């Protein structure tokens, strides 16, 4: 790279979030979600289940937070990149639909799998169809949640046992 | 299956959530998240970004909702299955850590990828180590979010254009 030419320099950055969750015995879970990198911020979150699933209905269910996280992550990239790519998107509306299937044998714990995920997008602005599609393509590549869902991920679990940690 | 023997019958059930999101031009997104199947419930959600990312800090960020959705989904299965499997888990605490990396060339929109996801689990109850590990294994299989993250998913996008829908 030529000295002073920073236009094509690749910048690599880490994005790290943590979530501390506690459950005392009901279906309600209380959480602190924290952005650790690249900035620092913390918000309290909670989930509960409806009476159908033995909960008190005091907060959204876990899958509502998941659906909101996916929708809002894509939305935020659409908004941010609309400015960067100078695409007049105007107000943006998304309708996300997430479909899973569960299977349960007798009284055993059920097992689950995703079936179909769709996101319908509407933009009020004056941008051409070509520019709208270009914006969506960039937002998909920049959306942390969508990029995560597109590939198989390993989640490493550890259980605390007698003051040490065992793989779980 | 013998008549009257329902102990091993496989029950298949669908779980469907929708999320309607609107963004008027700032980094704040307002949403209605709805459970469509197997029960019906709706909650309002919102996300925003901090000043760092051009937002007003009025709500959690999208990745906080995502981290909360994953943590709470596993937690809810741990709690539900602890009763079903008769494992004395007591109060349960999770520490989830989600690490992504972004790459940006010049002023182009950045692209992102997951790096490492970990969940540390603590249980206060009297259950044996074997029972705790059995409970975690069942919860992983029943956790909608974890089962989704473990496999590659296609998200189908459609853009509304001139009163019809085009694939995006």
pLDDT in tens, A6-63: 557 899 999 999 999 999 999 999 999 999 999 999 999 999 999 988 999 999 999 9
pLDDT at B7: 57
CB contact under 8 A, A69 and B65: yes
With bands split at pLDDT 50, 70 and 90, how would you rate the model's confidence at B52? confident
pLDDT at B9: 84
E strand spans, chain A: 10-23, 29-37, 41-47, 92-105, 111-123, 155-161, 164-167
Query: Does the pLDDT at position B17 exceed 80?
Result: yes
With bands split at pLDDT 50, 70 and 90, how would you rate the model's confidence at B11? very high
With bands split at pLDDT 50, 70 and 90, how would you rate the model's confidence at B106? confident
pLDDT at A108: 86
The ipTM assigned to this model is 0.94
User: What is the nearest CA distance from A143 to chain B, expressed in angstroms?
Assistant: 7
Query: Does the pLDDT at position A112 exceed 80?
Result: yes
pLDDT tens column, A150-160: 999 999 999 99
Q: Best interface-test mutation with A: which of B40, B47, B65 has the largest number of A CBs within 10 A?
A: B65
- CA torsion, points B21, B23, B26, B28, in degrees to nearest 10? -20
DSSP B82: H
Other CB atoms within 10 Å distance of the CB of residue A11: 11
CB nearest B144 (choices: A29, A31, A112): A112
SS3 A88: coil
Other CB atoms within 10 Å distance of the CB of residue B128: 10
CB pairs under 8 A between A and B: 471
CB nearest B17 (choices: A63, A140, A155): A63
**Mean pLDDT across chain B, nearest whole number?**
93
Q: What percent of chain A has pLDDT over 70?
A: 96
DSSP string, A2-30: -TT--TT-EEEEEEEEEEEEEE-SSS-EE
| Pairing state between β A164-167 and A155-161 | antiparallel
* Block residue for tokens 């995920």: A117
* Block residue for tokens 């307002």: B30
Mean pLDDT of A63-83: 97
pLDDT at A7: 57
pTM of the prediction?
A: 0.94
Chain A partners of B77 at a C-beta cutoff of 8 Å? 109
Query: Does the pLDDT at position B1 exceed 90?
Result: no
Q: What percent of chain A has pLDDT over 90?
A: 87
CB contact under 8 A, B60 and A45: yes
CB contact under 8 A, A144 and B66: yes
Beta bridge partners of B134: none
pLDDT tens column, B25-51: 999 999 999 999 999 999 999 999 999
Query: Does the pLDDT at position A109 exceed 80?
Result: yes
């Amino acid at each position: 790279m030529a000295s002073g030419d920073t236009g094509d320099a690749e910048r690599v950055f880490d994005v790290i979030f943590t979530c501390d969750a506690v459950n005392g015995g009901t279906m309600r879970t209380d959480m602190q979600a924290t952005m650790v990198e690249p900035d620092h911020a913390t918000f309290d979150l909670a989930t509960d289940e409806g009476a159908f699933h033995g909960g008190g209905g005091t907060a959204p269910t876990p899958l509502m937070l998941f659906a909101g996280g996916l929708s809002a992550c894509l939305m935020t990239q659409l908004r941010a990149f609309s400015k960067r790519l100078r695409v007049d998107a105007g107000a943006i509306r998304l309708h996300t639909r997430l479909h899973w299937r569960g299977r349960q044998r007798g009284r055993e714990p059920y097992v689950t799998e995703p079936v179909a995920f769709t996101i319908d997008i509407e933009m009020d602005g004056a941008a051409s169809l070509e520019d709208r599609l270009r914006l969506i393509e960039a937002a998909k590549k920049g959306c942390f949640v969508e990029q995560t869902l597109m590939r198989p991920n390993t989640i490493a679990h550890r259980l605390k046992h007698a003051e040490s940690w065992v793989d779980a």
